[in-house]
């Protein structure tokens, strides 16, 4: 009986979309807020984010686009209305080490939010697929 129950729980968990596993729009909004806070406190990348503290409209827009991006990319109901990744990051010359720090912050926040290994793996795959569109632009 226990094995059957565990199999059912595992099957139900795996049938949920990434969007659902991230907690829907509200969950993604909380994750994005925490990720931005983590970036602001990360000494390797904080300089890229601290200017936005004095630009609350821009910070809000960036957060909104990030929520849209992860909602759309994870199977949710929102469309992404921001610019493509190359255009967005053009002229920033983000290094590979900065990008790795960004990914590390995101994974730590997913841990904080109690996301399972498969969910973290799925998010990591998305982030890894974007690296060529962001690093060195």
List CB contacts of 81: < 8 A, sequence separation 6 or more.
Answer: 65, 68
* Binding-site annotation: residue ranges for heme: 65, 89
pLDDT at 4: 42
pTM of the model: 0.86
Domain boundary assignment for the chain: 2-134
> How many CB atoms are located within 10 Å of the residue 91 CB?
6
What is the pLDDT averaged over residues 49-72? 95
List, for residues 24-56, the tens digit of each pLDDT value.
Answer: 999 999 999 999 999 999 999 999 999 999 999
* Binding-site annotation: residue ranges: 65, 89
The CATH code for residues 2-134 is 1.10.490.10
% residues pLDDT > 70 (the chain): 90
């Amino acid at each position: 009986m226990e094995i059957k129950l565990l199999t059912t729980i595992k099957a139900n968990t795996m049938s949920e979309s990434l969007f659902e596993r991230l907690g829907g729009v509200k969950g993604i909004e909380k994750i994005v807020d925490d990720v931005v806070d983590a970036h602001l406190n990360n000494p390797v990348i904080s300089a890229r984010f601290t200017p936005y503290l004095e630009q609350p409209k821009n910070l809000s827009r960036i957060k909104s686009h990030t929520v849209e991006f992860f909602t759309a990319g994870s199977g949710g109901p929102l469309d992404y209305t921001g610019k493509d990744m190359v255009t967005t990051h053009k002229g920033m010359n983000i290094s590979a080490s900065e990008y790795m720090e960004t990914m590390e912050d995101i994974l730590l926040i997913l841990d904080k939010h109690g996301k399972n290994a498969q969910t973290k793996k799925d998010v990591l795959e998305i982030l890894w697929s974007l690296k060529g569109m962001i690093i060195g632009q």
